[in-house]
Structure 1
Amino acid sequence: MKNYSEESLIKVIIPAYNEADSIGLVIRDIPQFVDEVIVVSNNSTDATEGNAAKAGATVLRETRKGYGYACLRGMDYIANLPEKPEIIVFLDGDYSDFPQELEKVVAPILQRDVDMVIGARVKRWREKGAMTFPQIFGNWLATSLMKLFFNARFTDLGPFRAIKYGKLLALEMEDKTYGWTVEMQLKALKKNYSYEEVPVHYRNRIGVSKVSGTVKGAFMAGVKILTWIFKYSFK
């Protein structure tokens, strides 16, 4: 595997809401070739911000609640830096992903010039109970509809993903809450970006999920996902 630190500039954006118990573990396991880890505290009320700073991350605050709001805040920060990255990686702060697998998530971009890579949470590498039934069903439904309408090859809406920075900007991302991941994949399809999925491990998160762990969260996420799919299917 090539030495990425000499090849490209990679920044990681981690949206985090009350992830004090897990955020330090996530940052610790991110490979050293990453240029900067940016934790966006989405109105956290616990020690998330302090623990992230102690672990060496750049810490930003976004008081408007919503996964998309946090991601957009991280992008705004990067837009004002003098040197722009080649690749942006998105990663959750609950330690359900395996940050050390970042190397293989970015590999298709660096080795084959792919535009976007999704870390697919394959069943054989998924810890029992790590994904709830609403998550599994929602992923199946969303990816099935994308296959039907766009002939897409996606099997997951996994949050662990990498994308070329310039390509990300061209998507003009706008979703503020639950629809961020599916919006990115749909817009990438519409723009004919090259993409790949790589299988990644997935484990039970630390703490309670703010989306799949509640009936309201699961319902709202489902509504947002379907809204984006049908919006782009008939556009």
Structure 2
Amino acid sequence: MYRDHSIGVVVPAYNEAGFIGDVIREMPAYVDSVFVVDDCSSDTTWDDVLEAARVDSNQHDGQPPRDTQSSDVPLATDGSGSVLARRATVHDAVGRVTPIQHHENLGAGGAIKTGYLAALEDGLDVTATVDGDGQMDLSQLSRLLDPIVDDDADYSKGNRLLYPEYRGAMPTFRFVGNTILTFLTKIASGYWKTMDPQNGYTAISHQALATVGVENMYEYYGYCNDLLVKLNVNGMRVADVAMPAVYGDEESSITYTRYVPNVSAMLFRNFLWRLKAKYLVLDFHPLALFYLLGAGTIGVGALGFSWTLYAKYALNDPLFVRTASSLLLVSIGSMFITLAMVFDLKESEDDEMAVFE
């Protein structure tokens, strides 16, 4: 328990032999449940999980046993049984550690989703996520929990970009990619002050987790970005908590030629869904129309400019009038989009907070 709140931690693990054991053994004592999800690892990750769970159980043997539910209690179904049971085998808990094995490799987001489903079945007050590679400083976990326990936020996440010294510790290729995805996620999610959306060090309240529809969560890398969009549509408060990352000998399994287009496409779809759900269906705000008018006007202007170039070089038509008209349309469209962004920022500014040291 942490300040009278039950705490669960989801730890996704794929080929994390040599790292996952330390993560389990170093988990703070106030954590009640640890859901370790082995995503069909091909190394000794599973053996390391079981061994570390036994060591952790011996270390915390004096604690009262946690109240767990049977793993076959359905949380959400699609008519063919429990979503959790169809995805994975949930083994008996070893102390506070629940080892979970996926039936097939589902990726990082899939492992988080499975862990969230298990945490929801246990009814924990707050559920955190910690990577299995040891990059996250577990002494910082309480700083993620505090905004939720204090009822200042429904979701909190680490932010490695708030301080220059934290940014400086990040490898250059990660920093550049993170900066681009931060901007795209601001637009898609509506949380314009939130940074470092790829940070997997997070905590979420039971209410928020039960509201966002975990069973439909995006399962590839980018699940953090997807979750932010769903949180925004449901009016949840988000806290950005400044903290460093630890970079060691772990190897990333991300294939960037696949990652970039997949996550970008997901963000675009989520952006359109958010505008529809939040500003047209659940409520109405003209900013959705401003975005639409702005994009349409810019598109017409771009097509007009393309035709202008064709007419100039193919038909020898004059450039000035058509070029000026095209640029005017692009300018008007840009103003519509800028106005929409300002309205969008105002809508969610009270739902964002930053936590500094």
Q: TM-score range by the shorter chain?
A: 0.7 to 0.9
Which residue number corresponds to residue 223 of structure 1? Answer: 261
2:33: which partner in 1?
A: 36
CA–CA separation in structure 2 for the residues paired with 1:127 and 1:22:
24
SS of residue in 1 equivalent to 2:182: helix
Separation of aligned partners in 2, 1:9 and 1:89? 11
Partner of 1:58: 98
Instruction: Name stretches of at least 5 consecutive residues in structure 1 with no aligned partner.
Output: 212-216
Question: Sequence identity of aligned pairs in percent?
Answer: 25
Cα distance between partner residues in 2 of 1:223 and 1:169: 29
Gaps of 5+ in 2: 54-96, 274-357
Relative distance call for 1:101 and 1:180 in structure 2 (3 A) is: same
Alpha-carbon contact 1:16-1:40 (below 8 Å) kept? yes
**Counterpart of 2:105 in structure 1: which amino acid?**
R
| Residue 167, structure 1, aligned to residue 208, structure 2 | yes
Number of the residue aligned with 1:68: 109
Deviation at residue 132 of structure 1 after TM alignment: 4.9
What is the match of residue 2 of structure 2?
Answer: 5
Q: Which structure has the highest helix share of the two?
A: 2
Structure 1 runs of 4+ aligned residues shifted over 6 Å read none
Are residue 102 (structure 1) and residue 163 (structure 2) matched?
no
The 3-state SS of whatever aligns with 2:142 is helix
Equivalent-residue separation in structure 2 for 1:159 and 1:145 (angstroms) = 17
Alignment map for 1:75-94 (pairs within 5 Å): 75-81=116-122, 84-94=123-133
Q: For 1:132 and 1:47, how far apart are their aligned partners in 2?
A: 31
Moved more, 140-149 or 170-179: 140-149
CA shift, 1:170, in A, is 1.5
For 2:266, give the aligned amino acid. Answer: W
CA–CA distance in structure 1, aligned partners of residues 210 and 149 of structure 2: 18
Could you tell me which of 160, 177, 181 is aligned with 2:224?
181
Residue of 142, 146, 165 corresponding to 1:124:
165
2:176 pairs with 1:137: yes
Deviations 1:10-58 (A, max 9, x none): 1000111011101111122221101011110011122212222222232
What is the CA–CA distance in structure 1 between the aligned matches of 2:17 and 2:257, rounded to whole Å? 26
2:244 pairs with 1:204: no
What is the Cα deviation at residue 178 of structure 1? 1.2
Aligned partner of 1:155 in structure 2 is: 195
Indicate the residue corresponding to 1:25 in structure 2: 22
Q: Could you tell me whether the CA contact under 8 Å between 2:116 and 2:127 is conserved in 1?
A: no
One-letter code aligned to 1:177: Y
Q: List per-residue Cα deviations over 1:119-148 (Å, max 9, x = no partner).
A: 1123413574x4451x32232122223434
Matched, 1:115 2:112: no
Q: Deviations over 1:61-91 (max 9, x none)?
A: 112231122112222333443xx10111011
Q: 1:105 to 1:125 in 2, by over 3 A?
A: same
How many residue pairs get aligned? The number is 223
Q: Could you tell me whether the CA contact under 8 Å between 2:159 and 2:240 is conserved in 1?
A: yes
Structure 2: how far apart are the matches of 1:226 and 1:34?
A: 35
The alpha carbon displacement at 1:177 in A equals 1.3
- The structure with more radius of gyration: 2
Q: Which one is further off, 137-146 or 99-108? A: 137-146
Q: Kindly report the root-mean-square deviation, in angstroms, between the aligned alpha carbons of the 2 structures.
A: 2.0
Structure 2 partner of 1:48: 45
CA deviation string 1:153-176 (max 9, x = no partner): 111120000011221232113212
Q: What is the one-letter code of the residue matched to 1:94?
A: D
Q: Given residue 76 of structure 1, which amino acid in structure 2 is its aligned partner?
A: L
